[in-house]
Amino acid sequence: MHGQQEQSAAGTYLAFVEQRMAADGCGTQWDNWGGAPVLVGRRAEFRLRWMATKLHLFTVAAAVPEITVPVISAFTDQVVQYAKNTKGGLPVGLQNGVGAFPLLVSDRVDPAAVHWAESQQRVKFACMTRPVVVDSSRQYVGMFRGKPLLGRVYASYFNEKAARYFYGQ
């Protein structure tokens, strides 16, 4: 894997997520974002019940020294921009959309960051994100699990993928 990261609880968790995404048919790769290793998983699905749209789902995960609200918020914005720039095909909103799980893992997590992630799905035009905050010291995964007003048709899909990728280690 990547140096010291492989011995840490965060590194073990990221390896688990990578394995779970690959088992679900996601393409996975490690990228370098600003000198830090970042796991990127990606898949696209078309469903008639989604009003005949194609959803490009990105999961971008990284270990960080500490997770605060500004850190997870900035990472979420980065992931949305990355997904929009790399999804390909028709522009977002024309019978296709982007879904993303921006995931950060650390053994130092501000409770406010967990609350921020659990409070709501973030939606920008045809882009839905469910930030994930993982406290590796407590083995706790914090994210929104409800049915949002916007993007409600995709809620069960997001919940199913989150259960498959982030829980059960």
Spatial contact of 122 and 131, defined as CB atoms under 8 Å apart? yes
Residue 100: alpha-carbon gap to chain centroid: 5
What is the rounded distance in angstroms from the CA atom of residue 77 to the CA atom of residue 114? Answer: 17
- What is the model's pLDDT at position 166? 94
Domain housing 56? 3-166
Higher pLDDT, 122 or 93: 122
Two structure tokens written together for 140? 């706790």
Helix axes 69-86, 111-119, angle to 10 degrees: 40
pLDDT at 14: 96
Packing angle between helix 155-166 and helix 9-23, nearest 10 degrees?
Answer: 130
- List residues bridging with 29 in a β-sheet: 40
The pLDDT of residue 1: 39
pLDDT at position 158 over 90? no
Tens digits of per-residue pLDDT, 38-96? 999 998 775 444 555 667 899 999 999 999 999 999 999 999 989 888 866 555 554 56
Q: Which of 8-12, 101-105, 111-115, 120-124 has the lowest mean pLDDT?
A: 120-124
Q: How many domains does the chain have?
A: 1
Mean pLDDT over 152-156 rounds to: 69
Q: Is 164 helix (H, G, I), strand (E, B) or coil?
A: helix
Q: What is the pTM of this model?
A: 0.85
Report pLDDT for 5. Answer: 40
Which pLDDT value is given to residue 48?
47
| For residue 2, pLDDT beyond 90 | no
